[in-house]
């Protein structure tokens, strides 16, 4: 059930203020995203339910996705004031509700769009920052830009990730063959972006495996030169975000 205006509500065992409107939407959105992340449900607001269903032919898995999607939707609805709930009471999926609230309560002026774009291009990874969280922040901003009307190709998202890396990643970045990212053929450009991101995620996994036994700065200088001509096999790769196999964390 929804909460009264101004009250604090419980979602997934966490207490967050109810969404009352544009005045507290930005804070609510960050907190709601964190709650869904901790509940392993954040994927249902970041990608349409159809994508989750199409990713498997197993009927039990599809039913599980539908159930998790409704759980994510229910958590959002329970954390809305009675007035805010009217905007999503008839939403069919968590993604639909998430986008509906964004469109109604996020400031949509030209200046606010520019600030989102500025944050997207200025976000940088520190040497001690969590790489998975960094990628998800950029992906989140990338999706915000798309909703706001700034349609950027995947090749741009890939370029921004590479530009956001600290100097300790320079050897890796210098080894990348990124020529096809700017190819006028969209399919070639998209494949190049996916290949580079795949190799980057593989490098992250390798880097993490070395952290406890190797000095990070020494490891950075020993990074191997990756090959980017074919897409990496993700069949048995576990996502560092949702811990399911078959995709990378940035795709979750």
Instruction: Specify the pLDDT at position 37.
Output: 92
For 151, the token pair is: 């349609």
244 pLDDT higher than 70: no
Identify the residue with better confidence: 88 or 173. Answer: 88
CA–CA distance from 106 to each of 3, 80, 98 (Å)? Answer: 21, 15, 11
Contacts of 129 (CB under 8 A, 6+ apart): none
Three-state SS across 160-175? HHHHCCCHHHHHHHHC
80-89, 147-156, 192-201: segment of lowest average pLDDT: 147-156
Separation of alpha carbons 88 and 32, rounded Å: 15
Separation of alpha carbons 36 and 153, rounded Å: 27
145 pLDDT higher than 60: yes
b/e map 65-78, b = 16+ CB within 10 Å: beebbbbbbebbbb
List pLDDT tens digits, range 53-63: 999 999 999 99
162 pLDDT higher than 60: yes
The DSSP letter of residue 3 is B
Burial tier of 153 (Cβ tally within 10 Å: 0-12, 13-18, 19+): middle
Q: Which of 73-77, 199-203, 242-246 has the highest mean pLDDT?
A: 73-77
The stretches of 56-185 forming alpha helices (DSSP H) are: 59-78, 82-85, 94-105, 110-122, 131-148, 154-163, 170-174
Identify the residue with better confidence: 197 or 112. Answer: 197
Contacts of 207 (CB under 8 A, 6+ apart): 131, 216, 219, 223
Average pLDDT over residues 192-206: 85
Paired strand residues for 81: 3
**pLDDT confidence tier of residue 229, bands split at 50, 70 and 90:** very low
Instruction: Specify the pLDDT at position 152.
Output: 84
240 pLDDT higher than 70: no
For the chain, the helix, strand and coil percentages under 3-state DSSP, each to the nearest 5: 60, 5, 35
Residues in the chain: 252
Where in the chain are the domains? 8-105, 110-251
**pLDDT confidence tier of residue 41, bands split at 50, 70 and 90:** very high
């Amino acid at each position: 059930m929804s909460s009264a205006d101004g009250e604090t509500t419980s979602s997934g065992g966490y207490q967050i203020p109810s969404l009352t409107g544009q005045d507290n939407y930005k804070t609510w959105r960050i907190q709601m995203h964190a709650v869904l992340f901790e509940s392993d449900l954040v994927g249902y607001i970041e990608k349409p339910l159809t994508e989750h269903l199409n990713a498997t032919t197993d009927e039990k898995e599809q039913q599980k996705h539908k159930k998790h999607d409704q759980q994510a939707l229910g958590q959002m609805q329970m954390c809305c004031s009675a007035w805010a709930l009217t905007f999503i009471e008839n939403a069919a999926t968590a993604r639909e509700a998430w986008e509906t609230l964004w469109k109604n309560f996020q400031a949509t002026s030209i200046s606010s769009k520019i600030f989102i774009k500025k944050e997207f291009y200025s976000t940088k990874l520190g040497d001690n920052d969590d790489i998975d969280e960094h990628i998800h922040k950029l992906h989140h901003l990338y999706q915000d830009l798309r909703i706001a009307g700034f349609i950027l190709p995947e090749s741009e998202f890939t370029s921004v990730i590479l530009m956001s890396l600290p100097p300790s990643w320079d050897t890796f970045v210098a080894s990348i063959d990124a020529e096809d990212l700017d190819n006028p053929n969209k399919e070639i450009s998209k494949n190049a972006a996916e290949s580079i991101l795949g190799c980057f995620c593989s490098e992250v996994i390798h880097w993490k495996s070395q952290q406890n036994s190797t000095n990070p700065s020494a490891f950075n200088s020993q990074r191997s030169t990756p090959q980017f001509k074919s897409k990496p096999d993700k069949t048995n790769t576990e996502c560092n975000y949702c811990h399911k196999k078959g995709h990378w964390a940035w795709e979750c």
